[in-house]
Amino acid sequence: MFKKILVPIDLASLDPATASLKVVKSMVEDMDAEVHILNVAPGYGTPLVASYIPQDVRKTLNKNIREELTKLAAEYLDTTPSVSIVTGKRAEKIIHFAEQWQADLIVIGCRAKVARGSRHLLGSCSSQVADRAKCNVLVVR
């Protein structure tokens, strides 16, 4: 059913990440789907601030993030996913990447704690992605 599954991973919050990967593993076993892991780094602020961070430091950071994502994926998936790292606002970048890559499904973890009597069941990022993405979205707790 799904051929291209996008899995946004926030390394600062591993519980939702591992929950997403476990769900994706069971889905990929049943179908021949391509998996892509996406990390959205918060960015460096303004271009002026970014200009003070040496290029080699940025490359090292991206290399370390890619290694962590690959290691995490290997721990939970039987397939080797492709990995991308982008910079910017999380929900916006996830939605844009899903459209560009033509994802059939986004599997996103949710770290929001639901207060008793609250109508807000999702975190801000997962809520925005679920509301605005053009493809199917599966929110995992």
pLDDT in tens, 101-134: 999 999 999 876 655 455 555 668 999 999 999 9
Sign of CA dihedral 39, 27, 102, 108: negative
Domain locations along the chain = 4-139
SS3 29: helix
Mean pLDDT over the full length of the chain: 89
CA distances from 119 to 20, 61, 114, 123 (A): 23, 38, 8, 11
Handedness of CA 15, 125, 119, 117 (dihedral sign): positive
Of the candidate ranges 57-66, 69-78, 118-127, the one whose mean pLDDT is the lowest: 118-127
Does residue 37 register a pLDDT over 80? yes
pTM of this structure:
0.89
Question: Domain 4-139 sits in which CATH superfamily?
Answer: HUPs (3.40.50.620)
Residues 4-28 pLDDT 10s: 999 999 999 899 999 999 999 989 8
Res 5: pLDDT: 98
- Looking at per-residue pLDDT, the higher value among 15 and 55 belongs to 15
Q: How many alpha carbons lie under 13 Å from residue 17 in its C-beta half-sphere?
A: 20
Q: Please give the pLDDT value at position 57.
A: 87
Say how far apart CA 59 and CA 47 lie, in whole Å.
17
Q: What are phi and psi of 108, to 5 degrees?
A: -125, 135
DSSP string, 90-134: HHHHHHHHHHHHT-SEEEEE--PPPPTT-S--S-HHHHHHHHH-S
Give which of 134, 115, 137 is closest to 126, Cα–Cα: 137
